[in-house]
Chains A and B, each alone.
Chain A
């Protein structure tokens, strides 16, 4: 991980089917793994929301062995995230990766199968792909696409 501050290994309870904490958006820490409605989408530190992880001690224990995906994004590079479901294997990730890389403006992809989170790097010199285009790419690969967060967006 490229962060300079201590990082919690806990992940949001929504990753295991629980309901995301509504207060996450105002919490001091953001959850890189959150994908459920209401979860905070402005994730870069890869650190769980202290309110969410405290709600379920079992989630914290499991997450200790499943660290959140490290995110090493150059400063200022725009990224988008897509919450996806049904990507059950490495070949699945490759499938989604191929379709996303065909979108004009997408420069790289990073797929966390365990969290169902797809992160794509965007070319700042090109128009940002639409949320629909990103979702369609994931769907065409054979999976379910959920929330898309474009650069500068924060879920409430």
Chain B
């Protein structure tokens, strides 16, 4: 792996499904129905700071992530996540360039819903198994150049205006890592995401046959742990509007705890997204 490959080897926002009632930055137990394609586009901005001796200094990352989610059956879906990365690094050091545009590693995910209990018109409890692999893009300066398996679970519960999501996703990092890591999951260490969210439907108060869309407030707690001992907790509040064919969403990422020795610290982040159901 080249030194430049340590830069943002993995997009901070690992692939998430692209369906309804899911919060923006984490997986949920919802998915496209049979033969349904949902395309999701996210623009993620992160401002990082790496004050370590020989570190990158101030870093600005822009990720433009496209996710294609397709329903194979009513219970199974596949997702392809394609992230384009733009970075601006104050102290590139061993990295190939201080500014660059490239293709980050892709993610191919399979999601299977093994539990579903629909207890009311809108009330439901669901759980899915997540499995997949990060596929290297081999784009110099952006790719980890390793195939890294992913395995996890997600649970979703919806009651009236309230929605709860919880997920855990483990990455088996088979790469060699590097001394210059910026994002969660970049290193040679395995990495765990533990996320939870609460969504509240602001409007309408109640659904009717004339409901065309709904606004939600979302509150996310995003946890990150790597087996080198680094861990991080972020709050990510936001808003989402969901119509009958498309949805808009926006969240802000605010770190509250960061115990990081192996990579840059997040100052703040922003995620803007749109989804469309074909």
Which residues of A are in contact with B by a Cβ distance under 8 Å?
Answer: 15, 17, 35, 65-67, 69-70, 84-99, 110-117, 139-144
A91 touches B118 (CB 8 A): no
Q: Which of B31, B75, B212 contacts A90 (CB 8 A)?
A: B212
Residues of A within 8 A of B33 (CB): 95-96, 98-99, 140-142
What total count of A-B pairs have CB within 8 Å? Answer: 116
A116 to B123, CA, bound (A): 10
| Chain B 168-217 interface residues, beta-carbon cutoff 8 Å to A | 205-214
B212 touches A113 (CB 8 A): no
A113 touches B36 (CB 8 A): no
Where chain B touches its partner, the secondary structure class is loop
B74 touches A65 (CB 8 A): no
Most-contacted residue by chain B among A65, A67, A143 (CB, 10 A) = A143
B19 touches A86 (CB 8 A): no
Given A89-B21, A110-B209, A112-B208, also A143-B118 (CB < 8 A): yes
A110 to B207, CA, bound (A): 13
B124 touches A85 (CB 8 A): yes
Residues of B within 8 A of A17 (CB): 120
Chain B interface residue count, CB cutoff 8 Å, equals: 37
B122 touches A88 (CB 8 A): yes
Q: Is B135 an interface residue (CB 8 A)?
A: no
A142 to chain B, nearest CB (A): 4
Given A66-B208, A69-B209, A113-B207, also A89-B124 (CB < 8 A): no
A126 to B49, CA, bound (A): 67
Q: Is B78 an interface residue (CB 8 A)?
A: no
A141 to B32, CA, bound (A): 8
Given A98-B36, A99-B33, A140-B34, also A90-B20 (CB < 8 A): yes
B206 touches A93 (CB 8 A): no
Q: Is B247 an interface residue (CB 8 A)?
A: yes
A95 to chain B, nearest CB (A): 5
A70 touches B242 (CB 8 A): no
A87 to B120, CA, bound (A): 9
CB-CB nearest in chain B for A84: B121
Most-contacted residue by chain A among B19, B118, B209, B213 (CB, 10 A) = B209
A114 touches B208 (CB 8 A): yes
A15 to B207, CA, bound (A): 13
B97 to chain A, nearest CB (A): 41
Given A66-B208, A112-B209, A142-B74, also A91-B244 (CB < 8 A): yes
- Shortest Cβ-Cβ A-B pairs, 7 listed: A116-B121, A86-B118, A69-B209, A113-B207, A91-B20, A85-B118, A114-B207
